[in-house]
Amino acid sequence: MIKKIARAHTNIALIKYWGKADAKQRLPLMSSLSMTLDAFYTDTYLEAATENTFYLNGIKQANRASERVFALLALLNERYGKSTHYQVRSYNTVPTAAGLASSSSAFAALVGAFDHYYQLELSPRTLSRLARMGSGSATRSIFGGFAIWQKGHDDASSYAYPLDEQPELDLHLLAIELNTAPKAISSTAGMALAQSSPLFAGWLTRNELELTEMTQAIASKDFTQLGQLAELNANEMHAMNLTAQPGFTYFEPATITLMQLVRQWRIEGIEVYYTLDAGPNIKLLCQLKNVKIITERLASVFDNVKIINTSFGPGLSYRNVSCR
Ligand code: 2P0
């Protein structure tokens, strides 16, 4: 039997979403800009069932882990006048909940699977809005290359759009798995706490400027400007976590070691920048010519470190798979 699965790739924000205006509708307080990655994706298939069940990588998930999946399905049912229960099967190449944004690909693939199941042929913009209700970063995974999630002011105006789906830019992201254990502070909780930081007002004020500068860096294929800005933006986000009341951090000792190494390598002439999300795993931004030397240096510092070299990935797509 042939089944059609929805595939969405994860994305990494270079200008980050970190703060909500409306938690229920996942409306952000700022716009964000991301790079969709080729190496990490989620495949999802759904079909009608007598009760809701969710399998991740072949393992049936407990109700708690499935809550957000079922909540989004309930919302989709309501919007499109359905009352079905579903069996959802997802296969993830992203380490779940380790700051590699597995929820971005997961919820983009889920809305894609729902769209396909009912042959709704929803527009990418509508899919992006629906994905937002599962997870904010999922708005951007509907698209490949570079995408911008415009913050908007309500459900209808808060969605992502493609900036450049097939960038001709020499840009590699090295994902380094320092710790793939699920994180202690979820993104949702972390960004709520960050709003108590005295730096939060400045974070919001700077958003438009940073978005404009990043868009210019991409248009002019200026890797240096892109890397500097991405690193600055990530540092700003993590500075808010440290200065929240109460303060917290996603950094592990190895995260800080790596940040210092990156600065050292730059002094030595290896152009590399870092970004990191809601977890300890650093991502390095570099050009192809430096992938080898950076990989070698990482291997000499960290035992058994897993490094995944990734570049631009595509938007939501569908593919046929044969099943027994
Ligand atoms: C981002 N992150 O822009 C930011 C930067 C992590 C750090 O969006 O609460 O799972 O479900 O909307 O999308 C990860 O958080 O959060 C995230 P919710 P999400 O990619």
Mean pLDDT for the chain? Answer: 94
- Spacing, Cα 281 to ligand 1 middle (Å): 15
Beta carbons within 8 Å of 26's beta carbon, 6+ residues apart: 20, 132, 133, 135, 136, 158
Considering the entire predicted model, what is its pTM? Answer: 0.96
- Does any ligand 1 atom lie closer than 6 A to the CB of residue 277? yes
Protein residue with least CA distance to atom 4, ligand 1: 17
Cβ(30) – ligand 1 distance below 6 Å: no
**Percentage, residues of the chain above pLDDT 70:** 96
> Ligand 1, closest atom to CA 137?
13
Are 30 and 19 spatial neighbours (Cβ–Cβ below 8 Å)?
yes
> Ligand 1 test: best mutation among 135, 210, 236, most atoms within 8 Å of CB?
135
CA distance 44 to 13: 23
Pair of tokens at residue 45: 């298939």
More confident residue, 299 or 181: 299
State the DSSP code for 144.
Answer: S
How far is ligand 1, taken at its centre, from the CA of residue 233, in Å? Answer: 14
Kindly tell me if the per-residue pLDDT of 155 is higher than 70: yes
Predicted pLDDT at 277 = 93
Would you say residue 98 has pLDDT above 70? no
- The phi, psi pair for 183, rounded to 5°, reads -75, 155
Atom of ligand 1 nearest to the CA of 17: 3
How close is the Cα of 283 to the center of ligand 1, in Å?
A: 15
User: To test the ligand 1 pocket, which listed residue (14, 128, 191) has its Cβ within 8 A of the most ligand atoms?
Assistant: 191
pLDDT score, position 304: 83
Same fold, 2-168 and 172-310: no
Task: Say yes or no to pLDDT of 97 above 50.
Answer: no
- Predicted confidence (pLDDT) at residue 51 exceeds the cutoff of 80: yes
The DSSP line for 45-58 is: EEEEESS-EEEETT
Protein residue with least CA distance to atom 14, ligand 1: 187
Q: How far is the CA of 258 from the centre of ligand 1 (A)?
A: 23
**Tokens in use for 250?**
């996603």
Q: How far apart are CA 228 and CA 178, in angstroms?
A: 23
Superfamily for the 172-310 domain: GHMP kinase, C-terminal domain (3.30.70.890)
Q: What CATH number is given for 2-168 in this structure?
A: 3.30.230.10
pLDDT digits (tens, 9 = 90+) for 236-265: 999 999 999 999 999 999 999 999 999 999
Q: Name which of 46-55, 95-104, 306-315 the model is least confident about.
A: 95-104
Phi/psi of residue 276, each to 5°? -155, 150
Distance 110 CA to ligand 1 centre (A): 17
Cβ of 278 less than 6 Å from ligand 1: yes
The pLDDT of 22-27, averaged and rounded, is 96
Per-domain residue ranges of the chain: 2-168, 172-310
Tell me: pLDDT of 132 over 60. yes
Compute the C-alpha angle 61/63/67, nearest 5°: 105
